[in-house]
Amino acid sequence: MRGTRPLESNEIEDILKAMEGPTALRQKAIFVTGLKTGLRISCILALQIADVWDGRAMRSRIRIRRCTTKGKKSGYDMPLHPEAAEALAAQIATLQDTRPGAFVFPRQDGKAPLHRVQAWKSFKCVLARAGLEGARGELGWHTTRKTYARKVYEALGHDLVRTAYAMRHASITTTLKYLSFNEQGVDSVILGL
């Protein structure tokens, strides 16, 4: 898939270290949730308190409401990774409004979720501090989704069907577009024939 690329482990560490200032917890929660769930940025920003918190503790499964999914065809739930739960809990602890329908990532007025453009501007500053500005379009919020796809694919022993399910793709063809292949590795194999 053209556009963003997956992150390497050292880049993830550099990004996490570069998160600072008054929005650091929010940035970390968005970033880690993306890495550990593979959710699109629009779904992450639209999360409401009740989607991840039951009033006493973080939920073990995250609820993705239909109105936030691509194509708005159906909602679903998925496991909430402990690292994402921890980052989300830290973000929720900073909020004044923690009612079930309140947004985990609210705009300043609290009436709507943070806009993805505003989230991107903030993340772009983090990437610059981490020394990862890259070429235009190489890094962005979709980078977390591509990183998740690659890690799931590797952990599932290169099983495309189960990776497509984890990504919530209707077609394996779409999943294939998410998986970047190391061109140098392919070149080496060709030259070694």
Do 63 and 101 belong to one domain? yes
* Helix%, strand%, coil% for the chain, nearest 5: 55, 5, 40
Query: Residue 181's pLDDT is what?
Result: 64
pLDDT, mean of residues 58-79: 78
Host domain of residue 14: 9-139
pLDDT over 70 (residue 11)? yes
113 phi, psi to nearest 5 deg:
-70, 160
Q: Is 53 helix (H, G, I), strand (E, B) or coil?
A: strand
The pLDDT confidence band at residue 1, using thresholds 50, 70 and 90, is: very low
Q: Which of 139, 157, 178 is the last residue of a domain?
A: 139
β-sheet bridge partners, residue 132: none
Contact indicator for 106, 95 with CB cutoff of 8 Å: yes
pLDDT digits (tens, 9 = 90+) for 126-180: 999 999 876 566 888 889 999 999 999 999 999 999 999 998 888 888 888 888 6
Residues 38 and 58 in one domain: yes
Examine the domain organization and report whether 77 and 124 are in the same domain.
Answer: yes
- What is the CATH classification number for the domain harbouring 53? 1.10.443.10
**CA–CA dist 111, 108 (Å, integer):** 8
Mean pLDDT of 56-71: 80
Residue 87 lies in a domain: yes
Q: Is a pLDDT exceeding 70 seen at residue 109?
A: yes
**Is 75 in contact with 66 (CB distance < 8 Å)?**
yes
From start to end of the chain, where are the E strands?
Answer: 61-64, 76-79
Spatial contact of 68 and 74, defined as CB atoms under 8 Å apart: no
Residues 81-102: pLDDT tens digits? 999 999 999 999 999 999 999 9
Residues 110, 49 share a domain: yes
Confirm whether 2 is domain-assigned.
Answer: no
| Count of beta carbons in the 10 Å neighbourhood of residue 54 | 11
Q: What is the pLDDT of residue 65?
A: 78
Indicate if 83 and 169 belong to the same structural domain.
no
The percentage of residues in the chain with a pLDDT greater than 90, rounded to a whole number, is 64
pLDDT for 2: 59
Q: How confident is the model at residue 67, as a pLDDT? A: 64
70 pLDDT higher than 90: no
> What's the whole-model pTM score?
0.87
Q: Does 48 score more than 70 pLDDT?
A: yes
